């Protein structure tokens, strides 16, 4: 294997030392992993993809875990009522697989025995409750698998996008 010399600025020595430590003492491995990620992201960007980060898990906001991939958004669908909302986003990953990110907001419940104006003003005994909400991420291989996992309206939009050629050559 050929040797390569990398010149490191004094101000970056701590960074290289930490990378070597995290890679189990193998700085070459750490550099190769970082370069592989850099090449994947940049090649994807040149092909029209972008780096996408989504949150998954129970709860809301910053409490959720983050997942990152390189892809392009194909469509989004929101279904809501007075108590909750469901948000579906479909992406195509650089690998050609489909990524489904689904968010369900907390369900809110408001119960009261009051009627009329007392109910509208929130007077009297009131009961409130809510769930935590949740976000999931699922990867499927084909457009057929995708159909069973998302609302029909979103599927129609995504299928039309997938069937369209990425570049149309005009004979003008």
- pTM of the model as a whole: 0.69
Calculate the alpha carbon distances from 77 to 9, 81, 85 in Å.
Answer: 49, 14, 10
Distance of alpha carbon 131 from alpha carbon 129, whole angstroms: 7
162: Cα separation from own chain's centroid:
19
Which stretches of the chain are DSSP H helices?
13-22, 27-46, 116-121, 143-147, 152-163
Q: What is the pLDDT of residues 41-94, one digit of tens each?
A: 888 888 888 889 998 988 766 778 899 998 999 999 999 887 788 999 999 998
Closest residue by Cα to residue 164 from 51, 75, 87: 75
Q: What tokens does 165 get?
A: 């050629």
Question: CA 28 → CA 4, 32, 36, distances in Å?
Answer: 10, 6, 12
H/E element holding 100? Answer: strand 98-104
pLDDT tens-digit series, residues 134-152: 899 999 999 999 999 999 9
Residue 144: CA count within 13 A, CB half-sphere: 0
pLDDT of residue 164: 63
Q: What's the rounded mean pLDDT across residues 1-10?
A: 83
Q: Which residue did the predictor score with more confidence, 128 or 54? A: 54
């Amino acid at each position: 294997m050929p040797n390569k010399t990398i010149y490191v600025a004094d101000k970056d020595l701590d960074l290289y030392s930490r990378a070597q430590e995290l890679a189990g003492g193998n700085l070459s491995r750490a550099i190769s992993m970082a370069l592989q990620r850099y090449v994947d992201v940049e090649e994807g960007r040149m092909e029209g993809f972008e780096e996408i980060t989504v949150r998954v898990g129970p709860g809301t906001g910053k409490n959720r875990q983050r997942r990152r991939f390189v892809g392009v958004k194909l469509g989004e669908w929101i279904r809501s009522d007075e108590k909750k909302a469901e948000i579906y986003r479909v992406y195509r990953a650089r690998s050609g697989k489909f990524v489904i990110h689904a968010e369900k907001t907390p369900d809110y419940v408001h119960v009261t025995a009051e009627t009329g104006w007392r109910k509208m003003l929130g007077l009297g005994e009131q009961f409130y409750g809510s769930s935590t909400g949740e976000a999931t991420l699922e990867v499927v291989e084909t457009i057929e698998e995708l159909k069973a996992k998302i609302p029909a309206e979103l599927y129609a939009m995504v299928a039309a996008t997938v069937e369209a050629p990425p570049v149309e050559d005009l004979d003008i």
